[in-house]
Amino acid sequence: MSSKVLIVVLLNSIVCFSLTVLPPQLKFGAATAAYQIEGGCGKDDKGKSIWDIYAHSIPSPIKDHSTGDVACDSYDLWKEDIKMIKFLNLHFYRFSISWTRILPSGFSNRINSKGIEYYNKLINSLLENGIEPMITLYHWDLPQNIQILGGWTNSRIVDYFADYAAVVFRFFGDRVSSWITINEPSSICRDVYEYGNGAPGLESPGIGTYICGKNVLLAHAKVYRLYQEHFKNTQRGRVGITIDSIWAEPFDEGDEKASDIEMQMSFGWFANPIFSKMGDYPDIMKTTIAKRSSNQNFTTSRLPAFTDAEIAIVRGSADFLGLNHYHTWAVSNINYSVLDVSFDADKGTYLQKKAEWKDPDVLPWGFRKLLVWIKKQYDNPLVYVTENGFADSSESLDDQRRVYFLESYISALCTAIQEDGCNITRYAVWSLMDNMEWTDGYTIKYGLFHTNFSSSYRNRTKRSSAFYYKGICSLAEPSVTVV
């Protein structure tokens, strides 16, 4: 394998990276999400989402008591975003559409032309600059009006989500060819319904968690089928879903089974129904939850079953598998009481960092193992890495740790493609700039660009990692074929 040296002038230093030649099919991008950057809360007829309500609840559930009312103010400052994207030389930019900016009531009976105009300006400007838009339809900002009806635990949401998606495809689909239906189902269903961490702040452990999961899968599949039926012929785009996953390394010899259960019940929960040959949830998940439910005297499994027709609709409903990856954990078994009605008790695993891991936040070998596991498990699907990045709480511009993180993870990615034969064509850094990190507010930073939240201009400033990533994007020359 030949290698190349990349010389990057960072803020306070010049760094040489010895890099395997980048796989020619690999395209580089950066990612954001509407609530985290847009602000423009209530502007131009935007309706309220669950995050608008949640972040304003008292006492504040947000670490620094902040909200996303202004965030990076990308609603007004989107031209500044374009400048950063151009500086980085990105091949694509992944962002999300705010459902209630397009449909203020949540329902498709009334379309907000100002919202349409905003995304038209953004999309057109990206295209004029040779940058491909990659759009997420749902990145957690559910219309409050739909939450009132039960949100993701009401199966009607499947139709409401499809109605919204149809509007988006109708208005933007002529210029956009990469669509992600839903970002991180397990964050939507587990972090929220299981742990109450995030909007709408409701908890229904071991029950609502799985109802939500089923509806997310059905909503995704309905939108995929809708696109195939009504838009694919003319718009020729690709529709996928983004699932987040850790890598679950066995803690010790003998913990392989625990590692497998962790992977199956966290990632397989959403990936298996779509990407496995047979469809449906992983067997181990079905049997474990059915057995525990029965021991708890529930009349049926707390994991709601799919009908055969639903299995068929969901199976194969993606043109690519979007993957968000941040962490590797060591996994072992732990005993929960048989009476414990929760996702964690169903899973029965314990996650920790190993003492021998010198830098437990930077474990690129875990990323590679995860990519190889996905290849084996789902017969080498086309994977887009839709998020990967490094968090700290530093205002510093010379973010050497982030540069080191990106360098080692991009290397692991290249190895997974070149040596392990994984089918990966996209990689996006989370995030373009510091933004509103949900319940962490503005306390943690992921940005290639620093955002000054004390200034009404929300000035964006290049970090060292921006110079590094620009080097990578400029080095990569993806072939013309777009997959």
Ligand X SMILES: *[C@@H]1O[C@H](CO)[C@@H](O)[C@H](O)[C@H]1NC(C)=O
Active site amino acids: 387
Options 32-40, 81-89, 268-276, 330-338: segment touching ligand X (CB under 6 A)? 330-338
341 binds ligand X (CB under 6 A): no
**Of 66, 153, 317, 423, which lies in the binding site for ligand X, with binding defined by CB under 6 A?**
423
Nearer CB in complex with ligand X: 380/408: 380
Query: Which of 297/307 has CB closer to ligand X?
Result: 297
What is the helix (H) or strand (E) element at residue 450, kind and residue range? strand 449-451
Name which position in 167, 452, 475, 482 contacts ligand X (CB under 6 A): 452
- Shortest distance (Å) from residue 273 CB to ligand X: 18
| Subset of residues 168 to 227 that bind ligand X, contact rule: CB under 6 A | none
- Rounded to a whole number of angstroms, the minimum distance from the CB of residue 321 to ligand X is 10
Residue of the chain from 455, 477, 480, 481 that contacts ligand X (CB under 6 A): 455
Within a 10 A sphere around the Cβ of 361, how many other Cβ atoms?
Answer: 14
Nearest distance from C-beta of residue 381 to ligand X, angstroms: 7
Q: Which is nearer to ligand X, 197 or 459 (CB)?
A: 459
The residue type found at 273 is P
Residue 19 or residue 483: which is nearer to ligand X going by CB?
483
Task: Name the segment binding ligand X (CB under 6 A); options: 154-162, 404-412, 449-457, 473-481.
Answer: 449-457
| Residue from 297, 307, 337, 481 binding ligand X (CB under 6 A) | 297
Instruction: Pick the closer one to ligand X by CB: 159 or 419.
Output: 419
Whether residue 182 contacts residue 188, with contact meaning beta carbons closer than 8 Å, is answered with yes
- Tell me if 454 contacts ligand X by CB under 6 A: yes
Q: Does 264 bind ligand X (CB under 6 A)?
A: no
Q: Would you give the DSSP letter of residue 141?
A: -
Q: Is the peptide bond before 431 cis (omega within 30 degrees of 0)?
A: yes
Contact 366, 353 (CB under 8 A): no
Contacts 24+ apart (CB under 8 A), 444-452: 444/391, 444/392, 444/393, 445/391, 445/392, 445/393, 445/394, 445/395, 446/389, 446/390, 446/391, 448/30, 448/84, 448/88, 448/402, 449/84, 450/395, 450/397, 451/72
Strand partners, 387: 324
Residue 350 beta carbon to ligand X: minimum distance, rounded to whole angstroms: 8
Q: Which DSSP state fits 426? A: E
CA distance 303 to 208: 9
